[in-house]
Amino acid sequence: MIRRPKNAYPLQPPRERGTGRAFALAALMHVLLGFFLYHGIHWQNSTPAGAEAELWTQVPDTSTPRPVPPPAAPVKPAPQVNDEEADIALQEKKRKQQEAQRQAQLAEQQRQQKLQAQQEAEAKRQQQLAADQAAAAAAAKLKQQQQQAEKLKQQQLSQQKQEQLKKQQEEQQKEQEAKQAQAEAQAKADAAKAAKAKAQAQAQADAAKKLDAERRQRLAALQGMAGGEGSTGNGLAKSGTGSGAGGNATSPGYAEKVQRRVRPNIIWSGDTAGLETVVSVRCSPSGTLLSATITRSSGNSAWDDAALRAVQRSDPMPQDINGKTPESFKITLRPAA
């Protein structure tokens, strides 16, 4: 069984109570009124009975005169009404009552029809209002569903964006960790390489010091044997070593010092045949490299750059036996075979 909501039925005016009772009382009053009118007219048509009166005259008192009473007013006989006229009047009255009753019934019918029309109009209005309310409720429900769908879509998009951002952050973090690990590994490798190169350089420096001492001893012996002071010359690069050095007013072993300093810094994995580069350097007395330029190219720009970088990495340059670094000199560099 389908239950309708309370507001689905149209509003109806309350029924008037006591309508039948009012009609019954009106009919009874009309009957009583007709009864009294009939008997009243019949009483007036009856002939009045005669009346007898006995009059006594009083002997007047001559001593005190009394006023003479006025004569009695003659009794007017009641007008006689014809029975036919009475019936006509009664019928006219009944006709008027019936006409009044018919007019009242007609007015009541019109009122009922008007009330019914109002009820029907009110019912239609209520139906239209219910239909409008139902349409508005359906539209509101549809709008709410659309809003919920849009909200759910926004939440899904936001969640997807968050997941993508989180994924990107994780990838960036992994990439950074990988780079950091690679950098740490490279730093460790560079540190190990630098430590190895430093140890090699220290060993070479110790050997060079020992060799320089022996050379100085031999030079001093030769100078003593020659009877004069020894002269200094330009050092020459040794073939196959990958580096060489020369200078002005340098000791015989200074070229070997420069060779030992520059050689570990050469990084080259390409072709080695026929490559030779001459680099001109300027240094401060403490060995700090002031400038390094290529004065003669090998024809291979990659090897020239590698040679120049090797010289730049060798800063500071070694000092000569007098405790100072020559102001300017040239270094001939060839890759190791």
Sheet containing 277-283: order of strands: 246-247, 328-333, 277-283, 289-296
- Considering all CA atoms of the chain, what is the largest pairwise distance in Å, rounded to the nearest integer? 229
Q: For the chain, how big is the Rg over CA atoms in Å? A: 74
3-state SS, one letter per residue, for 247-316: ECCCCCCHHHHHHHHHHHHCCCCCCCCCCCEEEEEEECCCCCEEEEEEEECCCCHHHHHHHHHHHHHCCC
Give, for all 337 residues of the chain, the pLDDT tens digit. Answer: 556 555 555 566 666 666 778 888 888 989 988 888 887 766 555 555 555 656 555 555 555 556 666 666 555 555 554 677 888 888 888 899 999 999 999 999 999 999 999 999 999 999 999 999 999 999 999 999 999 999 999 999 988 988 988 888 888 888 888 888 887 887 777 777 767 767 776 766 676 666 666 656 655 554 443 333 333 333 333 333 334 444 455 678 888 888 888 988 888 888 778 888 999 999 999 889 899 999 998 888 899 999 999 999 988 898 888 888 998 888 888 887 6
What pTM does this model have?
Answer: 0.30
DSSP reduced 3-state for 97: helix
Number of neighbours of residue 310 by Cβ within 10 angstroms: 24
3-state secondary structure (DSSP) of residue 49: coil
Architecture of domain 232-333: 2-Layer Sandwich (3.30)
Return the DSSP state at 2.
P
CA nearest 332: which of 269, 233, 247? Answer: 247
Contact status, residue 259 vs residue 237, Cβ threshold 8 Å: yes
Domain residue spans of the chain: 176-229, 232-333
